[in-house]
Structure 1
């Protein structure tokens, strides 16, 4: 059983696709959102949930006060489950479901500059495809935005593209979570000299 952990619809049960998805456990979601709320990047945020599955991560963000969430899921059955969960929770005014591949979605002009991006891909997603997604996000993020990547604890750290830097990493049992942020432009960037400044969340 998958439930929303906390917030305005905390405790509500979510439908889960029969196969092909790996919902984030409640324990990991609770720990993840505790960290994100500490960083103050959930309430009022514009959130992008890639490889959404049941929509649990994005809907958790809505429950905790996110202003708008886009759930991106390529599998038709899973996208339908996302829509049903949105309807059941009564949050259709703040949530959009996009039934397409994440790699293609990030190639289009963004629906909004994102404050928070949640990436929880299938464990068998190739490093090349993940790299495509991360590169596509560069330039679509607000100042102070956070990009989260959740993968198997056995997976290597993502190859962060120019424009994104990791500032934290956590391990929750068999799950690894990396937190990254857009690189801040500095006087050194503009002048071609000097030291790089520490990131917003460092």
Structure 2
């Protein structure tokens, strides 16, 4: 697992030793950021990496010029290790909390981009989307294949 572009390009990140965290692959991350490059200028943005695990996505934003990234996870030991490895402590805030609570209690400056990559067995999508839908920010939400489009329609329009 490595940083694709920017200040920390080609730097390797610490990966989990077990299967509790499933980092986004380099290939998937590169594809995602190619798409995002058509919609965002990363220079100076503020972002969130929810269910961050290794911090792979948020750190990629920092490498590309983001001003600040908030990382939220129930275990932030790996993301903190990666932030320290790169010397990016001044731009990164890692908070040990569940992501829904973090969103509900967040009152800092607005953010421009949110990555939300819950675990495969995550079941609280309705709560999560309810927190996200009023933020008016560009959000990338990964979901399992069991999450159906009809659920999104119900949450967003009813």
TM-score normalized with structure 1 length: 0.70
Q: Structure 2 residue aligned with 1:159, among 149, 152, 157?
A: 152
> Which residue does the alignment assign to 1:10?
9
The answer to which structure, 1 or 2, has the higher relative contact order (CA under 8 A, 6+ apart) is 2
- 1:87 corresponds to 2:84: yes
Question: Per-residue deviation at 1:40?
Answer: 1.6
2:57 is the alignment partner of 1:62: no
Partner SS state of residue 106, structure 1: helix
Question: Secondary structure of 1:133's partner?
Answer: helix
Based on CA coordinates, which of the two structures has the bigger radius of gyration?
1
CA RMSD, aligned part only? 1.8
Match of 2:125 among 130, 140, 152: 130
What SS is found at the alignment partner of 1:6? Answer: coil
CA distance in 1, matches of 2:14, 2:108: 26
Q: 1:38 & 1:67 partners in 2: Cα distance?
A: 19
Shift in Å, 1:107: 1.2
Separation (CA, whole Å) in 1 of partners of 2:23 and 2:115: 13
Where does the alignment leave 5 or more consecutive residues of structure 1 unmatched?
Answer: 164-202
Question: Is the partner of 1:22 in helix, strand or coil?
Answer: coil
The 3 A distance-change label for structure 1 pair 152 and 136 is: closer
Aligned structure 1 segments of 4 or more residues deviating by more than 2 angstroms:
109-112, 137-141, 151-158, 160-163
TM superposition shift of 1:137 = 2.4
For 1:99, the equivalent position in structure 2 comes to 96
Q: Give 1 or 2: higher strand fraction.
A: 1
Asked if structure 2 preserves the Cα contact closer than 8 Å seen for 1:41 and 1:115, the reply is no
Confirm or deny that 1:117 pairs with 2:114.
yes
Alpha-carbon shift at residue 133 of structure 1 (Å) = 1.6
Alignment size in residue pairs: 154
- Kindly state the Cα deviation for residue 138 of structure 1 after the two structures are TM-superposed: 3.3
CA distance in 2, matches of 1:44, 1:140: 19
Q: Could you report, residue by residue, the CA deviation over 1:43-74 in whole angstroms, capped at 9, with x for unpaired residues? A: 22110110001000000111111111001011
Task: Work out the CA distance in 1 between the residues paired with 2:69 and 2:101.
Answer: 18
Q: How far 1:41 moved relative to its partner?
A: 4.7
